[in-house]
Amino acid sequence: KAGVTQTPRYLIKTRGQQVTLSCSPISGHRSVSWYQQTPGQGLQFLFEYFSETQRNKGNFPGRFSGRQFSNSRSEMNVSTLELGDSALYLCASSLVNNEQFFGPGTRLTVL
């Protein structure tokens, strides 16, 4: 079974731009969660989607948004990028019982 995939793997943007990251879950998994990983703050939960609906949201500003499609693929969008948004963005999918399988991440650098 193929694992969670994320595209692109690396991204460089400038302040003020917007970015869209994509996550394809393991086949059959309906829940997709997103996390931001930084050296200072560690792993922080952004949001979770289940069956195309946002089921949970972390404490991030409204510039961070996401969506999920009918095939369970998910995208997250960050608008008006700030330098502090530079991070590794991880997505994870799960089938049941909250056992999450993580993707390799997208490394976003904001200049």
Partner 1 sequence: AQRVTQPEKLLSVFKGAPVELKCNYSYSGSPELFWYVQYSRQRLQLLLRHISRESIKGFTADLNKGETSFHLKKPFAQEEDSAMYYCALSADSGNTGKLIFGQGTTLQVKP
* 56 interacts with partner 1 by CB under 8 A: yes
Question: What 3-state DSSP class applies to 47?
Answer: strand
**Binding of partner 1 by 55 (CB under 8 A):** yes
The arrangement of strands across the sheet holding 5-7 comes to 5-7, 19-24, 74-78, 64-68
Q: How many residues bind partner 1 (CB under 8 A)?
A: 26
What secondary structure letter does DSSP report for 59? S
Closest to 13 in 3D by CA, of 88, 91, 83 = 83
The one segment of 10-18, 68-76, 77-85, 100-108 that binds partner 1 by CB under 8 A: 100-108
**Whether the Cβ atoms of residue 47 and residue 66 lie closer than 8 Å to each other:** yes
Sites for partner 1 among residues 70-99 (CB under 8 A): 90, 92, 94, 97-99
Q: Which two tokens stand for residue 29?
A: 């998994």
User: Considering the complex, what minimum distance in angstroms separates the CB of residue 20 from partner 1?
Assistant: 21
**Distance, CA of 17 to CA of 4 (rounded, Å):** 27
Residue 60 binding partner 1, by CB under 8 A: no
For residues 20 and 104, which CB has a smaller minimum distance to partner 1 in the complex?
Answer: 104
Q: Which residues bind partner 1 (CB under 8 A)?
A: 3, 31-33, 35, 42-45, 48, 50, 55-56, 58, 90, 92, 94, 97-105
